[in-house]
């Protein structure tokens, strides 16, 4: 028996079998997840393989990442200007750099050594931490703005991840989170044609409803949804109670 991370229900139905992995759908809430869930060590191993092309001097598509990060930060600036901000899963530090340039005291956290080496070399005026959540919690830092883009779908223990975000968020802090949207109208009917369906990298998929439930469980209220008509992505702003 597997317990749903979102609603704690224990009934699932097969969703799709792909590349040797099985996704199931929770009959209680519609959350889609890998069952069995791969070991966290295995997920870190895959993540490191995917990061193999990153060095201190080079990051794939750096110029366009930098440009997109500035555009996103402009949209979110009211929530971090003059405040303490962090990008959790910051990769090469593009969003951290953008938030710093637009007035935040900005930090970035990632477990990838080459990504953080790149970030430190490219953006020496921001603070970067190459460590896991447990170690970072020991710093007892808290923030007014948290950015978490395309991270949660890689982490098997979603409740552990949300507990971490809640622990580093001050009351009233804003959280901007993005993740693929399996409920979006442009997801192909034959879901195996969807490039986001890439097990075991993406270990689960949210809809607006399952993401909102998870946020609420961990003390965040959904404030705003940024709907992209042609991109199957959930982009939400939430507020820590």
Contact by Cβ (8 Å): 175, 158 = no
Residue 32 host element (H or E): strand 32-34
- Using CB under 5 A as the binding rule, whether residue 24 contacts Zn ion is answered as no
- Nearest-approach distance from CB 205 to Zn ion, in angstroms: 12
**Does residue 158 interact with Zn ion by CB under 5 A?**
no
213 binds Zn ion (CB under 5 A): no
Q: Does 9 bind Zn ion (CB under 5 A)?
A: yes
Across-strand partners of 17?
A: 22
Binding segment for Zn ion among 26-34, 105-113, 135-143, 219-227 (CB under 5 A)?
26-34
The CA angle 182-183-187, to the nearest 5 degrees, is 65
Measured between alpha carbons, how far is 115 from 14 in angstroms, rounded to an integer?
36
Q: Which is nearer to Zn ion, 45 or 209 (CB)?
A: 209
Q: Is residue 6 near Zn ion by the rule CB under 5 A? A: yes
How, if at all, do strands 143-149 and 169-180 pair? parallel
Please pick, from the candidates 4, 24, 95, 196, the single residue that binds Zn ion as defined by CB under 5 A: 4
Looking at the Cβ atoms of 85 and 162, the one nearer to Zn ion is 162
Regarding 29 and contact with Zn ion (CB under 5 A), the answer is: yes
User: Which distant-in-sequence residues (6+ apart) come within 8 Å of 186 by Cβ?
Assistant: 230, 231, 232
Q: Could you tell me which stretch among 2-10, 58-66, 130-138, 151-159 binds Zn ion (CB under 5 A)?
A: 2-10
- The verdict on 26 binding Zn ion (CB under 5 A) reads yes
3-state SS assignment for residue 95: helix
Sole residue written with tokens 């979006």: 184
Q: Which residues pair with 175 in a beta bridge?
A: 146, 238
Kindly list the residues in this chain that would bind Zn ion in the complex (CB under 5 A): 4, 6-7, 9, 26, 28-29, 31
């Amino acid at each position: 028996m597997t317990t749903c991370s979102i609603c704690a229900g224990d009934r699932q139905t097969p969703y799709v079998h792909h590349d040797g992995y099985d996704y199931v759908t929770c009959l209680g809430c519609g959350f889609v997840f890998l069952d069995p869930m791969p070991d966290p060590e295995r997920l870190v191993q895959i993540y490191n393989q995917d990061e193999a092309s990153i060095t201190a001097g080079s990051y794939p598509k750096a110029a366009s990442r930098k440009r997109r990060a500035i555009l996103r930060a402009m949209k979110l600036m009211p929530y971090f200007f003059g405040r303490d901000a962090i990008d959790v899963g910051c990769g090469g530090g593009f969003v951290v750099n953008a938030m710093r340039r637009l007035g935040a005291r900005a930090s970035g956290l990632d477990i990838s050594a080459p990504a953080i080496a790149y970030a430190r070399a490219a953006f020496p005026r921001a603070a970067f931490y190459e460590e896991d959540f447990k170690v970072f919690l020991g710093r007892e830092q808290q923030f007014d703005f948290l950015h978490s883009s395309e991270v949660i779908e890689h982490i098997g223990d979603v409740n552990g991840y949300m507990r971490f975000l809640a622990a580093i968020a001050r009351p009233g802090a804003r959280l901007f989170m993005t993740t693929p949207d399996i409920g979006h109208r442009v997801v192909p009917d034959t879901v195996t044609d969807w490039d986001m369906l890439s097990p075991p990298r993406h270990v689960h998929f949210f809809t607006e409803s399952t993401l909102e439930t998870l946020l609420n469980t961990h003390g965040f209220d959904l404030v705003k949804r940024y709907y992209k008509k042609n991109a199957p992505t959930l982009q939400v702003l939430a507020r820590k109670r």
